[in-house]
Structure 1
């Protein structure tokens, strides 16, 4: 679960229910996928409640001449009702009506339109018509609807629409509401690299503080390869940008989102980031360690700690020592998964003696289940770091 993904789902749900985000704050403890399924269920429920009535109205629309239907849509029918009737009409019939409606009217209807139907309908629209609708949604700051439909457009149309979105902050807002990681990845690849670089620099602008989490969300929600590409690009922008990202992650407690990004960086970039003065601050290290334990991110954490130097490693050891014994089991399991025993033992040797004794018991349980070669390897490491297992082989 990530805070940013949950936040996006709550906003989408509030948009559907026409309530404030604060009224749905009680949902923050749920997983984003659960919220997503709940949102889809709400949409289905809203559609099913009046389905017989809308099906009946759709039969009338099919019978009436197009000009009269257009008049009714313009003058008398609520956009929500039009969107529900549209479900029961053929795509061809819909377009015959839609082509006579203004971009403002179509934008209002698109807020409630079933995405599956919208995908078919958009195939009939010209690029100019789509851009007009996008312009209205942009003026209305309806990034939720724009994010919902952007993945349905061709690359050429996306590039054209992106040109009318002049502010990189608005691009980040749109990307924040795109449904899937694959769609976000594709959008990033379609956009010019210069615009991505400009978006990264937003993190250094205090005047755009409210947009910072959207940038971190973009870096968090993309796939592994793109995480590394975009993360390395951020590092190339200089220490000010990375320090601003670290500070934003700390202020909003978004380390569960950002730790996997750091773990995806290239070796050179990881070494650079892991040894910045900002990541030697005790309170920041404590927040990162807490997030790693809370969200089962120890495999990522050990990758990052592997590049840290003494001062930062000591801060990590001190932070771990303040958590209950269960954390040591989590770290041992992560060490086994990633074969990160050397960095783990280096952290253990920096802990208070009572914590080292707890580690010895946990390590002993692991070592008794290992083959002879692995046992001997770990035994040598224990000797090197002056950590002695509780039993002998």
Structure 2
């Protein structure tokens, strides 16, 4: 699932580069390896930027000869955003920043759409935080999450902190999905940690669970615990929607490492939710866990789900599927049943071969 979603993100960015307004026109490419799609997009970008390198360097040299204010006026009135973006990578970064400070945010936003972050990282990193926030506001006014996602990994923390308040929770989710460098997600989470519950609620409200699960799939192991604990605190309807989406997308390989990293109290709260105390959920969980060999991750959740209030159908489902559960875990679940005074269930929680 994750590979498919990465491919969707790549075709979305490729559509922007090619001037295609409807990214779904490139759906025929989503079964290709995401790395291949990205390489094609980057090579196409290089062709576009490199075809007039000599001429662009001449324009950049001329920009050094006139005052910043005049360069800014020429950039806005004569060059336009596309040419400015092409020239940007050939100008001294400090000179480019000085010119940018004299340009209005809407024009800079139009330039940002055309920029290649691989060529202009030094310039972007030096843009003042407030100017970054102003440009971000302009981009989001037009719903441009693609450009935002392409530059997050080269924007320093002070600028990200300045820009974060102009983004809604839904914006954050869309931008995270389109990140050029998914390893940047952990840095972003550090900055917007208090907004993670809102982002998950936005996923429920906007039916964007695929994007949210892709986000969870991208986070580093050291962030799983606190994100899991925050998730366990959400309302039942959000948890229900999350678990339903996980079943539909077969995303247990993403969710189980999160639940496995939860604190004891958070895992108990999560395991006691209606969505988990459900035979259908248990059946899907066991099937997916077996397919992906995730028993080490599933173990804590299955164990925590068995309480004195666990419905009888859940126990019946465990018994029905007992031969699909590893013997050591099955023995532990039988012992858990005995502790809860469910001796009949404990007796039935043995492999069929052991009772034959």
Identify the TM-score tier after normalising by the shorter chain: 0.7 to 0.9
CA RMSD of aligned residues (A): 3.6
- For the 8 Å contact 1:280–1:312, the answer to whether it is kept is yes
Q: Which residue of 2 aligns with 1:134?
A: 136
* 1:307 Cα deviation from its structure 2 partner: 3.5
Distance 1:247 1:388, change over 3 A: closer
User: Hey, what's the Cα distance between the residues in 1 that align with 2:285 and 2:30?
Assistant: 20
Cα distance per residue 1:252-272 (max 9 Å; x no partner):
554443333233323343344
Q: Which residue of 1 aligns with 2:116?
A: 114
Q: Is residue 2:260 matched to residue 1:263?
A: yes
- For the 8 Å contact 1:119–1:152, the answer to whether it is kept is yes
Distance 1:80 1:36, change over 3 A: farther
User: Hey, what's the Cα distance between the residues in 2 that align with 1:61 and 1:262?
Assistant: 54
Q: Which residue of 1 aligns with 2:191?
A: 190
Q: Which residue of 2 aligns with 1:16?
A: 17
* 1:233 counterpart (216, 230, 235): 230
User: Hey, what's the Cα distance between the residues in 2 that align with 1:342 and 1:298?
Assistant: 11
- For the 8 Å contact 1:220–1:257, the answer to whether it is kept is yes
Q: Which residue of 2 aligns with 1:342?
A: 328
Q: Is residue 2:342 matched to residue 1:385?
A: no
Q: Which residue of 2 aligns with 1:219?
A: 216
User: Hey, what's the Cα distance between the residues in 1 that align with 2:318 and 2:139?
Assistant: 47
- For the 8 Å contact 1:279–1:285, the answer to whether it is kept is yes
Query: TM-score if structure 1 supplies the norm length?
Result: 0.69
* 1:121 Cα deviation from its structure 2 partner: 0.8
Cα distance per residue 1:302-347 (max 9 Å; x no partner):
45334443744653675798xxxxxx7xx8xxx6xxxxx4125689
Distance 1:24 1:288, change over 3 A: farther
How many residues matched? 330
Q: How does 1:19-58 map to 2 (within 5 A)?
A: 19=20, 20-30=22-32, 34-36=33-35, 38-48=37-47, 51-58=50-57
* 1:146 Cα deviation from its structure 2 partner: 1.4
SS in 1 for 2:114: coil
Query: TM-score if structure 2 supplies the norm length?
Result: 0.75
Distance 1:55 1:345, change over 3 A: farther
User: Hey, what's the Cα distance between the residues in 1 that align with 2:350 and 2:292?
Assistant: 29
Residue segments in structure 1 that go unaligned for 5+ positions in a row:
322-327, 336-340, 349-383
SS in 2 for 1:89: coil
